[in-house]
Amino acid sequence: MVNVAILGFGVVGGGTARLITDNREEIERLTGDTVNIKYILDLRDFPDSPFADRIVHDFNIILEDPEVDTVIEVMGGSHPAYEFTVAALKKGKNVITSNKEVVANFGDEFLAAAAASGVSYRFEAAVGGGIPVISPIISSVRHNKITEVRGILNGTTNYILTKMFSLGESFEDSLCDAQERGYAERNPDADILGTDAARKIDILTALVTGKLVPTDKIHTEGITNIRKADVLAAEKLGMKIKLLGRCIIEGEKVFVIVAPFMLPSDSALFGVSGVYNAVEVIGEPIGSVMFYGPGAGAGPTASAVVADLTEIIASGRNYAVPTFTKDEGAASDISELVCASYIAFDGACEACVKSVFGEVTFVESEDSVAFVTAPMSEKAACEKIARLISERGATLKSRIRLV
Ligand code: HSE
């Protein structure tokens, strides 16, 4: 019998406990062993829960119990998740997590600690919720020369954008709805400001480059500045606006960015709506592959956690293990990143736009002069925007890059 302890009895912890219980026979069939949830750590008591008798409030009970083989950390946040994870790995316990914050901040350290103790550290649920994406990237796709990994990595913002722009609902109502469904982070700023997506693209970047970038070195923009007029403009262009995390590898340069992008209808990510996430991996010789599925919520996330658990029980460490090290300078300055942009200005005439940006495609707009530029470097785009503001007194309303 494999004894596990779950740290955190929130949305994901509850889903994981239920799935382990419901799938008892299937887990035994797959692994040849039974799983017992011995402890659930939480600050609260849950007297009405079927797991009430497993609740403990002191992590040391779990740490010091030699029968506990695997710790499932689904608390979220960096601390005390970091301390609990290090302690468990050093004690020779496997650790599984859905906590992208702690993986993005300390994943390199945890993998090294796990290797030193001969145990596993797995985090399939940390990116893309229920989508199997970590394992395929480190096993099936690793023999390609990867040129880009890009994805819709945050279910909450994709849900909000879908509801706002397809159904015309307000930002606030859509956010509340996402929170009620258990999609959003405890502090939804991490979703709407792009931080959660930055942590996830950080992890994916580490898998394909071997280098973990400090998340605050990733250029990150959220969805809070997207205006209804921008969505209408995107529709006129036959495009959609999606919050993307992108890791673009060009020779020695690795550009990592999280921002809203306009996607053309032939993009693999164009039709990814609602809480769904998708990760597209582009490389040679494979071309483009996409991993698609529900990116948040109790059931999908628990599914990925339980997949990690069964893999550990069935295979031990006999599977592809990711390796990466922290590298402060691994992300290149995005000033050299080249892309076209949709730009909207108040107080600029079409002639002055052309005099600064050269040939552009104008988009009909009620409240501004809106246009799409030719592809140009980030540095050039920023310089031209600044020129139009300083020389013509124009006000920038929007700028959204195109894929
Ligand atoms: N808040 C996250 C999201 C949860 O909406 O995608 C899953 O990581």
Catalytic residue (one of 100, 163, 200, 240): 200
Greater model confidence, 94 or 316: 94
Handedness of CA 118, 100, 256, 280 (dihedral sign): positive
Ligand 1 atom nearest 200 alpha carbon: 8
Lining ligand 1 with CB less than 6 A are 129, 154-156, 183-185, 191, 196, 295-296
- Closest ligand 1 atom to the C-alpha of 185? 1
CATH number of 139-293: 3.30.360.10
Task: Output the DSSP codes for 51-109.
Answer: TGGGEES-HHHHHT-TTEEEEEE---SSTTHHHHHHHHHHTT-EEEE--HHHHHHHHHH
CB 153 within 8 A of CB 146: no
User: What average pLDDT score do residues 75-80 get?
Assistant: 96
Q: Residue 233 Cα, ligand 1 centroid: separation in angstroms?
A: 28
* More confident site: 363 or 227: 363
Which homologous superfamily is 2-129+298-325 in?
Answer: NAD(P)-binding Rossmann-like Domain (3.40.50.720)
Q: What are 62's two structure tokens?
A: 């779990």
pLDDT at residue 316 tops 90 = no
State the CB neighbour count (10 A cutoff) for residue 199.
26
Q: Which CATH class is domain 335-402?
A: alpha beta
- Our mutation pick for probing the ligand 1 site, out of 196, 200, 273, 303, counting the most ligand atoms within 8 A of Cβ, is 196
The rounded Å distance from CA 301 to ligand 1 centre is 10
- Residue 326 Cα to ligand 1 midpoint, Å, equals 24
Give percent above pLDDT 70 in the chain: 100
d(CA 340, CA 47) in angstroms, rounded, equals 57
Residue 200 annotated as catalytic? yes
Q: Is the pLDDT score of 339 beyond 80?
A: yes
Prior bond of 50 cis (ω within 30°):
no
The Å distance, Cα 346 to ligand 1 centre, comes to: 35
Stretch (H or E) spanning 320:
none
Pocket probe for ligand 1: among 98, 102, 123, 154, the residue whose CB has the most ligand atoms within 8 Å is: 154
If one residue of 153, 191, 275 were mutated to test the ligand 1 pocket, choosing by the most ligand atoms within 8 A of its CB, it would be 191
- Reported as a single tens digit per residue, the pLDDT across 213-242 is 999 999 999 999 998 899 889 999 999 999
Whether 32 and 25 have beta carbons less than 8 Å apart is answered as no
Q: What's the CA-to-centroid distance between 336 and ligand 1, angstroms?
A: 30
Position 320 scores a pLDDT of: 81
Nearest ligand 1 atom, CA 127: 8
For residue 197, report the distance from its CA to the centre of ligand 1, in Å.
8
Domains 2-129+298-325 and 139-293 share a fold: no
Domain boundary assignment for the chain? 2-129+298-325, 139-293, 335-402
Token pair recorded at residue 301 = 């996330």
Instruction: Answer yes or no: is pLDDT of 317 > 80.
Output: no
Gap from CA of 345 to ligand 1 centroid (Å): 33
Q: How confident is the model at residue 118 (pLDDT cuts 50, 70, 90)?
A: very high
User: Distance from first CA to last CA of the chain, Å, rounded?
Assistant: 50
Closest C-alpha residue for ligand 1 atom 4? 296
Mutate to test the pocket of ligand 1, among 98, 153, 156 (most ligand atoms within 8 A of CB): 156
The residue nearest atom 7 of ligand 1, judged by CA position, is 296
pLDDT band at 381 (very low <50, low <70, confident <90, very high): very high
Q: Are 159 and 235 in contact (CB under 8 A)?
A: no
Answering whether pTM is above 0.75, one says: yes
133-175 residue pLDDT tens = 999 999 988 889 999 999 999 999 999 999 887 887 888 888 8
Instruction: Report the nearest-CA residue for atom 8 of ligand 1.
Output: 296
The number of the ligand 1 atom at minimal distance from the alpha carbon of 156 is 5
Give the span between the Cα atoms of 240 and 157, in whole angstroms. 14
Mapping DSSP to helix (H, G, I), strand (E, B) and coil, where does residue 166 land?
A: helix
**Number of Cβ within a 10 Å radius of residue 48:** 6
